[in-house]
Amino acid sequence: MRVAMIGTGYVGLVSGACFADFGHVVTCVDKDEGKIERLRRNIIPIYEPGLEELVASNARDGRLKFTVDGAEAIREADAVFIAVGTPSRRGDGHADLSYVYAAAEEIAGLIEGFTVIVTKSTVPVGTGDEIERIIRERRPDADFAVVSNPEFLREGAAIDDFKRPDRVVVGSDSERARLVMAELYRPLNLNEIPIVYTSRRTSELTKYAANAFLAMKITFINEMADLCEALGADVQQVARGIGLDNRIGGKFLHAGPGYGGSCFPKDTLALVRTATDANSPVRLIETTVAVNDARKKAMAARVIASLGGEAKNKTVGILGLTFKPNTDDMRDAPSLDIVPELVNAGAKVQAFDPEGMKEAQKQLSGIDYCDGPYQAVTGADVVVILTEWDQFRALDLDRIKLLMNAPVMVDLRNVYDPGAMAARGFDYRGIGRPQAH
């Protein structure tokens, strides 16, 4: 089948490359000429394991193309995907749908024959109705259907999530559109992946509900971590004890500095605003948002406490800046709250991240960026693990101890064992676990 993918951001690029790898002919469209030119030269704008190779192989085989002029691709497409950004709108937290509606306007003037227009972007309930209205108003003669097909991709594991998903959700009342979507995802049939067919509005809400529930699960275990610290319990054992219950599950029960990234912060906020407008408030999600925001801000205080309550003229080594490992994404990363607080408190901050340095430099100033983890801890009065990159899991701790001014570690991801760290002579402080002496 022929696919036009409008938008070459994280979702559009991964989805386009994976559809091409399924055997479809995909054209990715973007207004950014520089970005398109770089993609043609296989310069990938994001870090995602395996994506560079996937794009290169499918471009080489002629199934994946990039262009700034999507007219031909849209006219020939069986399905046109809208995969543009929907950031939080400044001031009110609603999703900014201007890029989505602009794409709908462009698509309306170009489609020929029966075309399925698929919303891949995360959008509030009712957005598909508005897309349909825009296209119908401009092209009363057009033969088309608007479908909701939300993405459930984890950064760092997106290709595997696309090719081996837990489920695919398709929102449409059009049988013709459902048949097109079934053909697009037919390669998944071999693995018997469930395709959940719903109404369009149900599909749109499913995406928000999924992300809100996961964000709430993270926030729950973070609050349990605080309670564990107060009561002398171990949050990791609590998480294992409840996660083995099949009704709960162990995923997203890892205590830390709070969630961030491109999805959870904006999607929980958008759901709260949508629910408020519908006069059906979602109190649990409102609390999740508030607790998570406060948690990220409070993490700097933990670091300062490890310095005896005074950060002025102290050196803090930061390991990890991105919101999670295996990505260069800095959007709403906890580091964006923690590092400025440390700088404002008078600390000298020196940081290293395996992939996120370039993006971090755009948002975090007044700190020293280092070439590796050992440079970041040299002369430090405390080292802070902010992101659980694999290379931080097996550091040469004896070397780190020698390089630091004082052997103090604040491990906001619980990478290391408190007892083992104490035995090595570290003043080690994790999250939700008793401090070993």
Closest-CA residue to 117 (of 200, 219, 40): 200
Judge contact between 321 and 335, C-beta under 8 A.
Answer: yes
Q: Distance between CA 250 and CA 233 in Å, rounded? A: 18
Q: Distance between CA 80 and CA 118 in Å, rounded? A: 6
* Angstrom distances, CA of residue 180 to CA of 3, 10, 33, 129, 348: 11, 24, 31, 20, 57
* Angstrom distances, CA of residue 334 to CA of 280, 293, 294, 352: 30, 9, 11, 15
Q: Where are the beta strands (DSSP E) in 36-174?
A: 64-67, 79-82, 115-119, 144-148, 168-171
Burial-class residue 231 by CB neighbours within 10 Å (0-12, 13-18, 19+): exposed
Q: Distance between CA 289 and CA 293 in Å, rounded? A: 6
For residue 163, give every residue at least 6 positions away whose Cβ sits within 8 Å of its Cβ, in sequence order, or none. Answer: 18, 21, 188
* Angstrom distances, CA of residue 241 to CA of 219, 245, 253, 272, 435: 17, 8, 11, 31, 20
Q: Distance between CA 130 and CA 329 in Å, rounded? A: 30
Judge contact between 22 and 57, C-beta under 8 A.
Answer: no
For residue 124 the two structure tokens come to 């509030």
Catalytic residue set: 263
Please give the backbone phi and psi of residue 300, each rounded to the nearest 5 degrees, phi first.
-60, -35
Closest-CA residue to 283 (of 295, 293, 294, 271): 271
Burial-class residue 287 by CB neighbours within 10 Å (0-12, 13-18, 19+): middle
